[in-house]
Chains A and B, each alone.
Chain A
Amino acid sequence: MITLEQVSKTFAARSGSVRALDDVSLHVEQGEIYGVIGRSGAGKSTLIRTVNMLERPDSGTVTVDGLELTGLEGAELRRARQRIGMIFQQFNLLASRTVRGNVELALEIAGVDRAARRARSSEILELVGLGDRAGARVFELSGGQKQRVGIARALAGNPSVLLSDEATSALDPETTASILGLLRELNKELGLTILLITHEMDVVKTLCDSAALMRDGRIVEQGRLDDIVVREDSLMSPDLFPLGELPEPRGTTIIEITFVGLASEEPVISRLARTHELDVSLLGAAIETIHGRQTGRTRLEISGSASQVDAAVADLQGQGLAVNRVREAR
């Protein structure tokens, strides 16, 4: 649905040029929720803004819904933008208009007539749960309600894609959860494809089907979240499962076991100790709801010979568990 191919963008700054996007490629499937995570300054904001050409890349191509936007100008580009909704961290609602007026702005721009605008704005405000606030002014709304208006405005023209630029970063945790819930609902009910950027791993965990990690203008890791979770060398691991720092080396092996769906009824750890005659101690554990499934990771410290440890790991893998050898005994 959204494809970026080798997109690069450099900004001229006083201290030299900044390469905000460095050969970035990504692909978002139809109906997918795709999260790009990274620190501020990683280039994710530039990335999402290239998707609707608010920022024109220096090189590379951007294709949305089969249309190559990098080749479009003027009226064609404006028409293409109407098929791509966007929501913002600061909501960017017009204080000069009511809630309904803000939603209708999208329809006025699209050239929809008055009666149809009114009908559509009522319908979409109902959908985001603000059916009774149509006449309210923006300053009367809470942050969460403002973002709902933002979503309603973005979706008024029935776009196939929604871009979310840190949409929940200005909201408190509860409100964030309700907005993420709404996005998930819209994704399911309307088949809406969502590309979001965020600096909060929680947003990715809660909402995303796929994710990409950005650093210094590059995508350093990407994939389906289900795969990333069990990927041994995933750079997102420390943020997905906050297990803290490793202890000082003390001649032991440290492994991490990931349980997806917590399906295992087996007493994995005690059996590990018994079967392989190992000393096993628990260093840490985290249980996270990732992509709608309870997913846990346990960090274990094992004392035993190399062959014992190898056998134990093989055994665990044999049970279908993802095992990551974090540190070898030395």
Chain B
Amino acid sequence: MIDSSDPDFWPDLFATVWQATGETLYQVGVTLLLTAILGTIIGVLLVVTDKGGMLEAPFGSRAFGRTVNVVLQLVVNLGRSIPFLILMIALIPFTRLVLGTAFGVTAAIVPLTVAAVPFFARIVEMSLREVSDGLLEAGMSLGATRWHLVAKVLLPEALPGLILGFTTTAVSVVNYSAIVGTIGGGGLGDVAVRYGYQRYSTEYIVVVIVVLVAIVACLQGLGGWMSMRMRRGGTPSARSAAAVPPAQAD
């Protein structure tokens, strides 16, 4: 138990929480960056290598496309079905192999990313499947390459859904980052364990909760706003044009 009437109590609390918040944001930020890249790549591959997809037979080999698809599906399903707490522990040797250490703020990025990528990849896959085949066909009729179809049609058209899905992923990552804290991953979870649990300080717990809620709220708000902006038209000029009564008939 810490003495909350100590004059150093609040300054200490804020210094501790401030530093931990920085660690959490760093952890979450790097994880999300890696997740965005890897999850998008895997999500796209899941869609295009599926039956009837534009890459169902890469290098002319249908079997190869099938294999890639099946393996990725398996990896994503596996990653999503293992509870994070267990995944995190199971990955300790792997993390040590990659980074030389399994504990600490940076090391925690490995299990976080491994957990978040399958989650986001599945969301990417679902969002891309929402894009109408007609749009791909229109692209093909214009002579688009597969790369054009992915970069100019599939991803931009799915973007509003992707952003919302990414927001959900981000919130989960914040959640997981607190769990990582319990086994020495630093950040706000670590503060909650060391001060809140081991030394039972209600003030620490409350402040940590407030900060976490604030982070999640910011993420949600930002994601929702961006997605809405995408759906309604991105540029200011387009939005003012939207204010004009739309679409008089021909």
Contact = CB atoms under 8 A, between A and B. Distances in A.
A207 to B, nearest CB: 16
A308 interface: no
B5 interface: no
B143 A94 contact: no
A157 interface: yes
B248 A142 contact: yes
A49 to B, nearest CB: 8
Contact of B142 (A105, A136, A141): A105
A91 to B, nearest CB: 8
Interface string A151-180: 001100100000100000000001100110
Most A-side CB within 10 Å, residue of B139, B145, B237, B249: B249
A6 interface: no
Interface in A77-131: 78-82, 84-86, 88, 90, 92-98, 105-106, 108-110
A144 B241 contact: no
A175 B159 contact: no
Given A94-B135, A96-B157, A137-B233, A142 B249 contact: yes
A135 interface: yes
B230 interface: yes
Interface residues of B, number: 31
B138 A81 contact: no
Given A137-B233, A175-B250, A82 B241 contact: no
A145 interface: yes
Interface in B218-250: 230-233, 237-238, 241-242, 246-250
Given A144-B249, A144-B250, A78 B143 contact: yes
Contacts of B156: 94, 96-97
B99 interface: no
A52 interface: yes
* Binding site secondary structure of chain B: helix
B157 A135 contact: no
Contacts of A108: 148, 152
A94 B248 CA distance: 20
Nearest to A90: B134
Nearest to B138: A92
Kindly state the interface size class of chain A when it binds its partner. 35 or more
Contacts of A12: none
B143 A92 contact: no
Contacts of B159: 96
A140 B250 contact: no
B72 interface: no
Interface string B142-156: 111100100011001
Interface string B137-181: 111111111001000110011010000000000000000000000
Contact of A54 (B137, B153, B230): B137
Contacts of B248: 142
A153 B250 contact: no
Given A94-B135, A144-B249, A78 B144 contact: yes
Given A92-B134, A105-B152, A135-B241, A140 B246 contact: yes
A153 to B, nearest CB: 7
25 contacts: A54-B140, A54-B141, A78-B144, A81-B140, A85-B141, A88-B134, A88-B138, A92-B135, A94-B135, A95-B157, A96-B230, A105-B142, A108-B148, A109-B144, A110-B142, A135-B238, A136-B238, A136-B241, A139-B233, A140-B242, A145-B250, A153-B142, A157-B142, A163-B141, A175-B250
Interface of B: 132, 134-135, 137-145, 148, 152-153, 156-157, 159, 230-233, 237-238, 241-242, 246-250
Given A109-B142, A110-B143, 15 more contacts: A54-B140, A81-B140, A86-B138, A92-B138, A97-B156, A109-B145, A136-B241, A137-B242, A140-B247, A142-B248, A142-B250, A144-B249, A148-B250, A153-B142, A163-B141
